[in-house]
Structures are given as structure tokens and as C-alpha cells.
Amino acid sequence: MSFICLLRMRYVILLFLVFVIACTPVATGPQITFDKITFNLEIAQTSEEMQKGLMNRESLPANQGMLFIFTDMQPRGFWMKNTLIPLDMIFLDNNLTVVEVKKNVQPCEADPCPVYNSVPAQYVLEVNAGLAEKNSIGISSVAKLNKQ
């Protein structure tokens, strides 16, 4: 094999490796993983972030969600005021075990908006409606949180 062929082969291999590395998904922030799916997260931790939540969003990528982090286990109440997209609300305990799921919660169209109350939970994950059922996320499902 000639020297020029070896150089070309190395060049092709290098380009291939660059392409593979560039196309490999890299976690760029916090994520929560269930058996069948991983969601990239926006974290709502402050009272301002929790009040705003997913209000006024016209869409949410399929692999994205918002995680509400509380400091203790208590019943939680959520509503859909100014929320434009239907959601699944996944309530988790302090061990990241699902304790309740509200499926296909629709946007509130008129005041007063209904409040969706839960059993005691420390975390609440909001994702696009239908994803909990599609990915078999239900009571007793366990999540793994990577806060990166």
C-alpha cells in the first residue's frame, strides 16, 4: 500500500471519528431517567420558578420536562393556569419512586382553574401528555436523577 493511500485512510478514519463524536448525544444538564426514557430537565426550585412552571409555552420537546423540587414530602397542588399544552404530572417521593400520575391534564380555559392535588410527594415532573403511559411510567416506577 502506498504512502498516499495510508494518509488518505487515516484522513477518512479521522473524519469518521469526528463525525461519530459530533453525533453522539451528550448530557448537557440535569436529567431524569425511567426504564424506557430519559428526560432532559428544567429545574423549578425557587418559588418564582415554581409559580411560572410551563406557563405560556406552545410546545415542549418530547424528551424534555420540568422538575419541581420541594424540600419535604407533602401533598402537592398544581393547576394549569396559562399553560397551553396538555401535560402528564408525575409525583415522586423522596426516593424518586412514583406515588401518583395525573395523565393528560388539559390546559385551563377559564377561571377558576381546577387544582390537581396529590398524595405526599417531594418531586413533581411535568412532561408532554401521553408520555407516562407510552413509557410505562406509573405508581412504583423508580427514577434516577442526574443533576449534573
Q: What is the CATH number of the domain that holds 94?
A: 2.60.120.1140
Does residue 18 belong to any structural domain of this protein?
no
Does residue 64 belong to any structural domain of this protein?
yes
Q: What is the pLDDT of residues 95-136, one digit of tens each?
A: 999 999 999 999 999 999 999 999 999 999 999 999 999 999
**Overall domain count for the chain:** 1
Provide the residue type at 112 as one letter: P
Does residue 99 belong to any structural domain of this protein?
yes
Does residue 44 belong to any structural domain of this protein?
yes
**Smallest Cα–Cα separation from 123: which of 79, 39, 67?**
67
Does residue 32 belong to any structural domain of this protein?
yes
Does residue 14 belong to any structural domain of this protein?
no
CB atoms under 10 Å from CB of 57, counted, come to 13
Provide the residue type at 46 as one letter: T
Provide the residue type at 8 as one letter: R
Tell me the C-alpha to C-alpha distance, in Å, between residue 120 and each of 9, 77, 137: 61, 10, 18
φ, ψ for residue 140, nearest 5 deg: 85, -5
Does residue 91 belong to any structural domain of this protein?
yes
Domain holding 109, by residue range, is 27-146
Does residue 10 belong to any structural domain of this protein?
no
Cα 37 to Cα 41: distance, rounded to the nearest angstrom: 13
Low-confidence ranges of the chain (pLDDT < 50): 5-7, 12-25, 27
